Amino acid sequence: MRITKYIVSVLVLVLLASCASIKLEKLTDESKINKSGIIYTLPKTKLNINVDVVKTTFYKGPFSDYADEYLGIENVIKNNLTEYNLSNIDIIPTIENDNDYTYLLTNYSKNIKSLAYFNGTQAVSTLNAPNTEKQIYFVNKDFVNETGFVPFKDRTVKPLVIEKSDTVWKTILVDSVYKRIPKVNTAIAPRTVKEQAYMASRFILKIRKRRLRVLTAMDKNYPKGNTLKKVISELDKLENEYLNLFIGIKKYDTAKYNFVYVPDTNLTSTDLFNFDTKRGISENSKYTVGISFTDDNKNEYYDKLNKIKAKKSDFVYKKAKFVKTNILLNSNVYKTVSVPIYQVGIINYLPSEFTKNNIVFDKETGGYIVK
């Protein structure tokens, strides 16, 4: 009788223990799912490479050839051209499903009351706690269409045409004597570029003289307070507009590109795009921009840990490994950052009794916080 009671007690304890423990099964292509449960995957890292390219358009001033002669300015834009430069490259890690590590979670009702996923994935973000996941947006922006843009609108405060006179001598016979009589022909002719440049330079000097008179209170009606600031600001603006006719202008625009790369377990390098200062990002550009990885700690240790078999009652999660990630410009290092990459990280096992707590997983590192 005692033996029977003992056996019954043991069976009850075993049954209770089995009911209290979660069960986890790794799924493969050959797996047959014949019971209900929660399917989730471990994460893998997707690298979003955001690239900012600044386009600088140089516009030659119409009077640039006379900048030194009339204003004593030597360093001016001599040719119309466009130049591209990489202004910034950011590497933003996000996660997606690693379908090679898919699990079926059953017998979890007493341990897991709620479960949330990272946005758009089946990778677990929380157990028994509110989901704090935030969406990350990647916005592409193209260069502005410059069709119809007029870099220089005003060239002069004087008319572009001038009345020019030309004297012609005419020989006539008067009383058997030939005489030369002048005849003045008047016509409207356009001013030459040099004449326009000269007038523009004189106007710049007048603006400077006017500004000096205002600042030194040479005029009787001296502006004060905000009025003085506004007058000086308008004079500066007007001078710059006419000065640009000689030195030229630069116009800046920024385009944003997004490239995506998912590293493999070997951290294989790859090319992202081609770039040079003449064409920007283009298939025909001269230089290659790529991504490579420097793994200071080799993966043998991580591979060894990942081969450890877990108990069926353990909850599987994964921690990322920080790896030096290099952006290469024509094989030279342009930028290096340390990025958490799940593909070379460690698989960990959370004892089933821990899952009763409120657990929040860190999307970046894969570690967890018990709340």
Instruction: For residues 117 and 202, state if they share a domain.
Output: no
Q: Are both 120 and 260 inside the same structural domain?
A: yes
Burial class (CB in 10 A: 0-12, 13-18, 19+), 67: buried
State whether 29 and 90 are in the same domain.
yes
Q: Does any domain span residue 87?
A: yes
Q: Domain range spanning residue 193? A: 161-247
Check residue 188 and give its pLDDT. Answer: 67
The end-to-end CA distance of the chain, in Å, is: 47
Dihedral sign from CA coordinates of 263, 264, 268, 270: negative
Helices (H) and strands (E) in the chain, counts: 5, 15
At 160 the pLDDT is: 58
Q: In sequence order, which ranges of the chain are alpha helices (DSSP H)?
A: 2-20, 67-71, 193-215, 225-247, 300-306
User: Residue 205: which residues within 8 A CB-CB, separation 6 or more?
Assistant: none
Could you tell me if 179 and 306 lie in one domain? no
How far apart CA 14 and CA 17 sit, in angstroms, is 5
pLDDT for 258: 95
Same domain, 208 and 125: no
* C-beta separation of 310 from 346 below 8 A: no
What is the distance, to the nearest Å, from the Cα of residue 222 to the centroid of all Cα atoms in its chain? 49
Domain check: are 265 and 347 in the same one? yes
Q: Where are the alpha helices (DSSP H) in 81-224?
A: 193-215
Same domain, 37 and 141: yes
For residue 218, the SS3 value is: coil
Question: From first to last of its 371 residues, what are the pLDDT tens digits of the chain?
Answer: 444 444 434 333 444 444 457 888 889 888 888 888 899 999 999 999 999 999 999 999 999 999 999 999 999 999 999 999 999 999 999 999 999 999 999 888 888 889 999 988 999 999 999 887 777 778 889 998 877 788 887 777 666 555 666 666 677 766 666 677 776 666 666 788 898 899 999 999 999 998 888 888 777 777 777 888 898 899 999 999 999 999 999 999 999 999 999 999 999 999 999 999 999 999 999 999 999 999 876 666 667 776 776 666 789 999 999 999 999 999 899 999 999 999 999 898 888 888 889 999 999 999 998 88
* Distance of alpha carbon 19 from alpha carbon 13, whole angstroms: 10
> Do both 118 and 259 map to the same domain?
yes
Residues 179 and 273 in one domain: no
Token pair 């410009």 is at which residue? 329
* Amino acid code (one letter) for 71: L
Q: Is 356 exposed, middle or buried (0-12, 13-18, 19+ CB in 10 A)?
A: middle
Domain membership of residue 77 (yes or no) is: yes
Residue 2 belongs to a domain = no
Q: Which long-range contacts (CB under 8 A, 24 or more apart) does 149-153 make?
A: 149/251, 151/59, 151/249, 151/251, 152/59, 152/61, 152/62, 152/244, 152/245, 152/249
Rounded to the nearest 10 degrees, how much is the dihedral formed by the CA atoms of 329, 333, 334, 340?
Answer: 110
Task: Give the strand order in the sheet containing 359-361.
Answer: 115-117, 124-127, 359-361, 368-370
Q: What is the pTM of this model?
A: 0.78
| The domain boundary residue, chosen from 247, 281, 304 | 247
Listed residues 247, 275, 305: the one ending a domain = 247
> Distance between CA 50 and CA 259 in Å, rounded?
7
Q: List phi, psi (to 5°) of 368.
A: -125, 160
State the number of CA atoms in the 13 A half-sphere of 369 facing the CB: 11
Question: Would 183 be classed as within a structural domain?
Answer: yes
Of 247, 263, 287, the domain-final residue: 247
Q: Domain tally for the chain?
A: 2
- The answer to whether residue 242 sits within a structural domain is yes
39 within some domain: yes
Q: Record the tokens describing residue 365, joined without a space.
A: 């590192």
pLDDT at residue 154, as a whole number: 73
Nearest to 53 by CA among 270, 261, 275: 275
268 and 350 fall within a common domain: yes
Asked whether residue 192 is assigned to any structural domain, the reply reads yes
Phi, psi of 140 (to 5 degrees): -90, 140
Return the closest-CA partner of residue 180 out of 170, 189, 190, 188. 170
Pair 237, 272 in one domain: no
Residue 104 lies in a domain: yes
